[in-house]
Structure 1
């Protein structure tokens, strides 16, 4: 009888060992590279703090990726209980520089606990706001069938490599060309020097193109002006970075079928899983007024929504006076609290990442919640 009791226990230990050794891992750097591919950090706002914020000493592998909107101490405890190796916190828990890392403040304690337990912390924040498959597009799904475009489109990063102006001119003299090129070689803010032959009015010439900053532009023009025989047909072109399609902050949404404000509020509540929202009717509007154009921005949307035309603004939070400005223009405002307009995206993110990161387990926090509650 004693032997019969031991056999199942030994089998259980073997099964547990097999399960443990069969767990899949990803190297931290490989995983971070994959996350950056999902949403390039170059799309984040310049003021933001995104990317890998806490890195355990290498080598570090990840078998469990833990998703949260806000990394509070309660959420950190949950992540540790669930054996997370990397926490993806939409909001960066480290935003302003830390002057020390002690047990005194909650954000410092997060860093200490992460390092002590060898858990990395990664934050995408506004990079996820900008991408076409990101937070703002998810929020727009709650409006019903609609088409949307970014309110503030993103521009292609690092284009051109340097400079905001292009200087183009032609010369028919190799000696003159050498003078120009030798003159600009010492200008650090001149880049992308292109030289190619052209035929102008039947004459063989050399076309020169220089990209430069505004400061370097003055130097280039001064160099060419020293001797007008150096060039012909100089042209100065102001370069504009190309816009990225469907990428940028906020969204202007056009509903396929206009609906009443009351219907739209119910759609928003259903999409966000909320029993209550805050509503400010635009001047002259009622709950039965029809809505066709909605401008939205997840989180705190005042700066993005400001001066945007539309029937309704949808965001997490706005200042009192910004709400007054909007309603005075006849624009209705729906406020849902900051993180309520973002958190639901994590479930969609989990599904998308799971399809591409099959090697690891991806968990969404159950304790993450908006700090403001209706009582």
Structure 2
């Protein structure tokens, strides 16, 4: 029997009974272990395996994962060029029910192209926010100075533009950061909105939003410097302060943190508004409400409070868990003695990358003259 005929038969078999790749299933299992889907806010969120691409053994992808905050066309192009098996997109590319899948919608275009290439898409979103050791706790480490940038962290490049007064847009460049306990400001950390019980064992502190309470009040400028370092030294820090105060005069005892759009977490259902609200975005009227009550708001643009977590924490966590998960999957597959999938299970290599194309839609044009 010719190799061409065997390949065609395998392709027909895959088309008649489509399955996702064994490696994709190992990635999904690893993500669920790290960030249990039961912790996601299902009142609005859409987490889990959003696109399960059919597995084509005749043209299989690499044992590779691409981490991103947003699944844009540029990121889809990157995933296809890398031949990854799975894109882990923090934000769900499918939020509401779809009545069709066509090329008229750019996001649907990306989904169709990825499916054609055999690339699946998984979204953890608010499960990452709620899980202890997740994005909320990482933001706490930033404001308390518990992490310091490594030598790989770079500041945004300010480049010229045709404007006579402003540069081209600059974007934060998050790099790998390392724990720095010696510089951590003494504090207590609590969860603002605990997850409904029962939570998975060992995750009793799960929930949305975190509140940092410093043992001693800190200057606002100290906290702003910590934030800038932790998220990639943005070209500007959008900040709102009470009109009766100055940046140098403000002292901060409590900081409420929430990645992304945090007003519903930081302002609603809390007995007292924190001295500083650190989030990605907040509406005009919510910001006015906060500063009129004496608080400070730092809102960096939605995903600038999220992106650094991928390189600082998630990549290493997923790689470690996935290595064990894939090893177990391979042993089970080889034990089943499936000749058709033998070459798949014999491949022990795997990679986890952070997207180089992912960025927030908003950049900062810096005044140069």
Q: TM-score, normalised by structure 2?
A: 0.69
5 Å-filtered alignment, 1:126-137, equals 126-137=126-137
Q: State the 1:360 CA deviation.
A: 1.7
| C-alpha deviation, 1:139, in angstroms | 1.0
**Matched residue, 2:284:** 320
Q: Could you list the per-position Cα deviations for residues 174-202 of structure 1 after superposition, in whole angstroms to 9, with x for gaps in the alignment?
A: xxxxxxxxxxxxxxxxxxxxxxxxxxxxx
**Residue 219 of structure 2 is aligned to residue 260 of structure 1:** yes
Please give the per-residue CA displacement for 1:152-188, whole angstroms capped at 9, x wherever unaligned: 00023599xxxxxxxxxxxxxxxxxxxxxxxxxxxxx
Q: Map 1:21-32; keep pairs closer than 5 Å.
A: 27-32=23-28
In 1: Cα distance, 2:290 partner to 2:32 partner: 36
Aligned residue among 242, 266, 286 for 1:282? 242
Question: What residue ranges of structure 1 are gaps of 5+ in the alignment?
Answer: 1-24, 160-241
Q: Distance in 1 between matches of 2:195 and 2:99?
A: 33
Specify every segment of 5 or more residues in structure 2 that has no aligned partner in the other structure, as ranges.
1-20, 145-184, 324-348
Q: Distance in 2 between matches of 1:367 and 1:52?
A: 22
Contact 2:67 2:353 in 1 (8 A): yes
What's the counterpart of residue 151 of structure 1? 192
Change (3 A) 1:150 1:42: same
Greater Cα shift, 148-157 or 60-69: 60-69
Contact preservation (8 Å) 1:253, 1:294: yes
More strand by share: 1
- The alpha carbon displacement at 1:110 in A equals 1.2
CA displacement at 1:56 relative to structure 2: 1.5
SS in 1 for 2:114: helix
Which of 198, 215, 230 is matched with 1:271 structurally? Answer: 230
Deviation at 1:27, TM superposition (A): 3.0
- Provide the secondary structure at the position in 1 that maps to 2:205: strand
Deviation at residue 246 of structure 1 after TM alignment: 1.8
- Which of 49, 52, 56 is the equivalent residue of 1:52? 49
Structure showing greater radius of gyration is 1
Q: TM-score, structure 1 length as denominator?
A: 0.68
CA-to-aligned-CA distance 1:211-239 (integer Å, 9 cap, x gap):
xxxxxxxxxxxxxxxxxxxxxxxxxxxxx
Match of 1:303 in 2: 264
**1:285-338 deviations in Å (ceiling 9; x for gaps):** 321211110011110001111154221111000000000111111011111110
Deviation at 1:366, TM superposition (A): 0.5
Partner of 1:237: none
Report deviation, 1:96.
1.4
Residue aligning to 1:166: none
Report what 2:342 is aligned to: none
Q: Equivalents in 2 of 1:278, 1:337: separation in Å?
A: 8
**Alpha carbons 1:311, 1:330 under 8 Å: kept:** yes
Alpha-carbon deviation of 1:121? 0.2
- Whole-Å Cα distance in 1 between the matches of residues 220 and 87 of structure 2? 38
* Equivalences, count: 269
Judged with a 3 Å threshold, the aligned counterparts in structure 2 of structure 1 residues 371 and 139 are, in CA distance, closer, same or farther, namely same
Change in CA separation of 1:259 and 1:128 when aligned onto 2, cut-off 3 Å: same
CA distance in 1, matches of 2:292, 2:210: 22
CA distance in 2, matches of 1:102, 1:338: 28
